[in-house]
Structure 1
């Protein structure tokens, strides 16, 4: 399917909501993880016992300071593959140097940011401890946690919502402003636009189950990985760890707009991507192109990049198959970089037309 050539129609087409963060990223040690009770491959919100890790990384591990926040990184990547001014991001920051760093980086990638500024709270940070090919993320939301639905309801911002065609919300935002999610989801439903969520981390369906449950009927497309899918299954009583069955069950949860079947996309790292569609018992399995171990610099941001690649082509009007190929392609670029970083050179994706999923019935 050829992409749309009407660039004007794509201005502000994709709007995202998440928590803008400054990543403090460094190669860590098992001792550092043990000191703060962190797993080598996990994502958590910081408790009081974790607060010292940020200074530890800065003082002892020579970290890189990178633009963070899953949703912001996804929209940055999508914008790299879309016409100018196609993407707009909402979230809350402090009024400080780190907020300006985030804004400058977003601007370099062509992403427009509509930050809510909270002057008396610092911009959020995320400790990224890399050990081998694994990374442990420990987030202190700070100002990001202050986002309020009143911001999106301001006339200038609501006009952005009305003009958009696609809405992308990460699971992390469920911890901050479920009211905003509900407000935007209802508008998307009423205006027959496309509402998309990413589960983002296992703790989201595990600890914010009711917020997720309340939102699912509005969801047209859902992203997740295998760990998040299993956490979803446990929290929603599916009683299975089979990824195909979980994807099928999520796809078939109640939906307000039954005229557009929900699509569930579950990534599994280097393994195949699973796709389930509402009103169908067929499960599609898409192969990936594994990256040689010696070429992998950092897996942090690979999932965000997959979503970015997919969304960029889906917004352009390409098929699901082409969009999934773009997701895998862009994720492959990002894991060769340190942190959730996109290559500096121009990014141009062209579908090969060769990606073909295997299909089987979930009842088989």
Structure 2
């Protein structure tokens, strides 16, 4: 069982051919609306894989808030939301024909989160997955939540993303001292060199080169699978969901990394951040992977 604490964001994905020069113009060929937010994506995927999940966030009292709740509950996620009298958080995502994307974030309700979790919330489950909210108070809120989660004996998983990674190790240290597992992109790892000495397990996605895990100074690396890139939005979140599912199922690091690669590969061949393989397909991949 796992709880996620991160921003509830509704993605509006716009497909373009190429990004224009500054001051230029690009034609939107197609647009779609999806529920998003990194922690929300991971929790959504794990729920589809049969894991019991909860998600804590702030949403607005509006159509997007209902849309977000409905999408999560349809996947089986138990939503414990604070509903605010404002708009729900939103992200406009522009994706070019090479699958590269640029984000424009409207924090709205996601920028007004506070640690409203009660003792019974911390007592539930085994894991807490944390992802930055788009406002300055996010780090302090997550420090509070991580401290309480560790007091209740939980495993704390952090996806610092760019917002936390850019702060550096010193600023993150109060959160990292109560963190067990960290998921990073290659660029984020470069900003946080040495983080592997501060947490039990560091997991790094390497794009076309696959992924790597560092534990007790030992590095485990698994190459990526060959796949056509349509949209890289949510690739890291899909990876984290696949990795965590394999880990919760009792598999070793190499299998966990491979499961993450498999899930990410499935995701980037489709538009949007929440394209996950069927549970039986992921299970079959894990079971057939050389042990």
Residue aligned with 1:15, SS: strand
Partner Cα separation in structure 1 for residue 248 and residue 276 of structure 2: 22
Structure 1 unmatched runs, 5+: 1-12, 37-55, 234-248, 256-261, 357-364
Segments of 4+ in structure 1 off by > 6 A? none
Instruction: Tell me how far 1:270 sits from its aligned partner.
Output: 1.6
Counterpart of 1:126 in structure 2 is: 91
Two-structure CA RMSD over aligned residues (Å): 2.5
Greater C-alpha Rg: 1
- 1:21 and 2:9 are equivalent in the alignment: yes
Deviations, residues 178-231 of structure 1 (Å, cap 9, x unaligned): 333222212332333211101222x42214765422111111111001111122
Counterpart of 1:167 in structure 2 is: 128
Counterpart of 1:250 in structure 2 is: 195
Partner Cα separation in structure 2 for residue 82 and residue 99 of structure 1: 24
Residue aligned with 2:71, SS: helix
- 1:321 and 2:254 are equivalent in the alignment: yes
Counterpart of 1:268 in structure 2 is: 206
**Contact 1:79 1:312 survives alignment (8 Å):** no
Work out which of the residue numbers 222, 238, 250 in structure 2 matches 1:286. 222
**Contact 2:132 2:139 survives alignment (8 Å):** no
Counterpart of 1:220 in structure 2 is: 180
**Contact 1:322 1:353 survives alignment (8 Å):** no
Question: Structure 1 312/32 Cα, relative in aligned 2: closer, same or farther at 3 Å?
Answer: same
Counterpart of 2:191 in structure 1 is: 231
Instruction: Tell me how far 1:315 sits from its aligned partner.
Output: 2.5
Counterpart of 2:62 in structure 1 is: 96
Residue aligned with 2:128, SS: strand
Instruction: Tell me how far 1:82 sits from its aligned partner.
Output: 2.1
Partner Cα separation in structure 2 for residue 128 and residue 24 of structure 1: 6
Partner Cα separation in structure 2 for residue 230 and residue 208 of structure 1: 10
Counterpart of 1:199 in structure 2 is: 160
**Contact 2:88 2:108 survives alignment (8 Å):** yes
Deviations, residues 111-159 of structure 1 (Å, cap 9, x unaligned): 121111111x20011011101221111211111011112x213xxxx31
Aligned residues: 288
Instruction: Tell me how far 1:81 sits from its aligned partner.
Output: 1.0
Question: Structure 1 346/323 Cα, relative in aligned 2: closer, same or farther at 3 Å?
Answer: closer
Question: Structure 1 308/173 Cα, relative in aligned 2: closer, same or farther at 3 Å?
Answer: farther
